[in-house]
Amino acid sequence: AQSVTQLDSHVSVSEGTPVLLRCNYSSSYSPSLFWYVQHPNKGLQLLLKYTSAATLVKGINGFEAEFKKSETSFHLTKPSAHMSDAAEYFCVAMDSSYKLIFGSGTRLLVRP
């Protein structure tokens, strides 16, 4: 069965420093992978998606993620954190019946 593991429940960075949110997946095939962000009291917003085209995927707000099949990873990065990036981030896989499998989420804190 597919699963998604987000290795950190909380990540804290200073404004202007790089962000790394880690995600590993397990699947018998290369799934479609997504990162969603949830700001407080808001819905789930799509940041970016990987669907077997380019392995480096660029998303909104300067985020990007790299699909590495050999490591079964899909880590999310951003070169320079902004205060407005503080939110919960979900790594998500789509299974063969198109339903989404969520990781447990990583809460990103950005210190001024």
Partner 1 sequence: EPEVTQTPSHQVTQMGQEVILRCVPISNHLYFYWYRQILGQKVEFLVSFYNNEISEKSEIFDDQFSVERPDGSNFTLKIRSTKLEDSAMYFCASNGPFQETQYFGPGTRLLVL
| Residues engaged in binding partner 1 (CB under 8 A) | 32, 34, 36, 42-46, 49, 51, 90, 97-105
Least Å from the CB of residue 78 to partner 1: 21
* Residues paired with 23 in a beta bridge: 6
Nearer to partner 1, 60 or 80 (CB): 60
Least Å from the CB of residue 39 to partner 1: 10
Which residues lie below 8 Å from residue 72, measured CB to CB, with a gap of 6+?
24, 25, 26, 27
Least Å from the CB of residue 80 to partner 1: 26
